[in-house]
Every structure is written in C-alpha cells, then in structure tokens.
Amino acid sequence: MAEGAASVKVVIPARYGSSRLPGKPLADIAGTPMVIHVWRRAVQAAGGPSSVVIAVDDDRVADVAGAHGAQVLMTCGNHASGTERSAEVADRLGWDDTEIVVNLQGDEPLIPVDLIGRVAGALASTTDAEIATLACPFENNADISDPNLVKVVCDARGRACYFSRAPIPHDRTHGRPDLRHFPYLRHIGLYAYRVGTLRRLSGLPPAPMETIEHLEQLKALWHGMPILVERIAHAPPHGVDTPDDLAAMRRHVLGGPV
C-alpha cells in the first residue's frame, strides 16, 4: 500500500444485475469469476484479505466469492450506486470516519495493483480534499469526443472543477478539441474516500448535473466536496461492460489480442 495510506479498506461493489451483461460478476475469465480477479488485485494492494470486502446483492455472487475465501457482505438491492453500497459496508462494519476506503468496481479485472495504492495514498497525503480520483492525458483527438470516456478539468492545485461526457473545455477558437491546443484529461473511475465523506455523500440528494450527465462524482462537487485528481501517465486496461468487452478480456487473459 502507498506510503501514508496505512489504514485503507477496499470495497468492491458487485451487483449481479446488469442490463448489458447479466450476471457480470460471475462471468468466467480463464476459469475464474471476474469478481475474483478483481478481489485478488485488491488483496495484493491492501496487504491482505481482511481489508477487502466484496459488497454483493445476490446470493449467487456471495456463494462464489465466499468459496474463494473473500470477505463478503450482502447489501441492499436498491442502491443507486457503488458509493451507496460502500457506505452501507462502512456503516455495518463500524469503520471509523477517518479511515480511507477505495471503491473498486467489480468489472475491472486488469486494474493495475499500484493504482489502488496510488489513489489511496493521494488522499492520505492531503487534508483539504475529501475524495481522490485519477486522470491521465488523452492520447488522440477522436477519444476526446467519445461520451463513454469522461473528461475532467482541474484547477491549479489539481482539484476537480468539473467532470463531463462532453469535451471540456470547449475550444471556441478552433471549434473542436485538439491536443495541440489543450492537454485534455481523461478521468479514471477509481475513487478513495474518507469514511466520513462516504457516509455524508451517500445521504445527500442527487445533483441536477449528476442526473443529466449520469456521473455520480458530480454530486460531490455540487455539495462542495473537494476532489483531488491524481495524474497518471496512461489509462489502465478497459473494464467489462458488454459481451464484446468480455470476449476481448478473455482473449487478453489467455494471451491473445484484445
């Protein structure tokens, strides 16, 4: 675990239902359920299984994860986000408000272990941000316009000003985003929270901009919670959202082309 992040928990929200890929946490990748690939990386980052919890909403996921030795907690089935599911875990396990929790999505089987420590360490190193997340430079102009790749704009101290699916900032002079004119940043959806922040955030109403963009981190900004953006050099491997993503992941893990 990163220096300064000695007391870190990792919660892996693993919701069984998915409109694009039902049963996603249990999808087989090289003989192992996807959520277990994620859990093993989290265990390595956290220094042991006792600091990692898989938060589930279905007995099928709970049974499989438990059989692999994971710490599992059955959570409410109607949470709107992984943040709310993580907050329930923190409450039920009685975690202290000062502890740091990394929310690691259960569909990221190739997440680099060092990034889990990196985001936790970033939050541990500051007292004037309540959340930490990651961003990296875009590598080509076409990706900047992809609404599935979230953009973030930061202030001079590295705090997030805004997240959007649209290309931000808008280039009024040239009319279209171009890396020759501005260093556009791609947001990486890995978060570290202090438990107290996690509890407060989960109880707040949705923000108008969160609702229209479908980006839950905008709720934190709307309610005045500073978000530290730690910059990394390159984006991690893509997660699994669709059957095509799953097929590509299987090829990659087995040594074939993605």
| CATH number, position 246 | 3.90.550.10
Residue 258 lies in a domain: no
Residue 1 lies in a domain: no
Residue 214 lies in a domain: yes
Residue 2 lies in a domain: no
Say how many domains are in the chain.
1
Residue 108 lies in a domain: yes
Identify the pLDDT of residue 3.
42
Residue 235 lies in a domain: yes
Residue 233: which pLDDT band, with cuts at 50, 70 and 90? very high
Residue 206 lies in a domain: yes
User: What separation in angstroms does the CA of 180 have from each of 75, 142, 158, 161, 173?
Assistant: 47, 13, 21, 22, 13
Identify the pLDDT of residue 42.
97
Query: pLDDT of 55-111, one tens digit each?
Result: 999 999 999 999 999 999 999 888 888 899 999 999 999 999 999 999 999 999 999
Domain that holds residue 136: 8-253
pTM: 0.92
Query: Is residue 37 predicted with pLDDT exceeding 80?
Result: yes
Residue 229 lies in a domain: yes
Query: Is residue 1 predicted with pLDDT exceeding 80?
Result: no
Query: pLDDT of 168-216, one tens digit each?
Result: 999 999 999 999 999 999 999 999 999 999 999 999 999 999 999 999 9
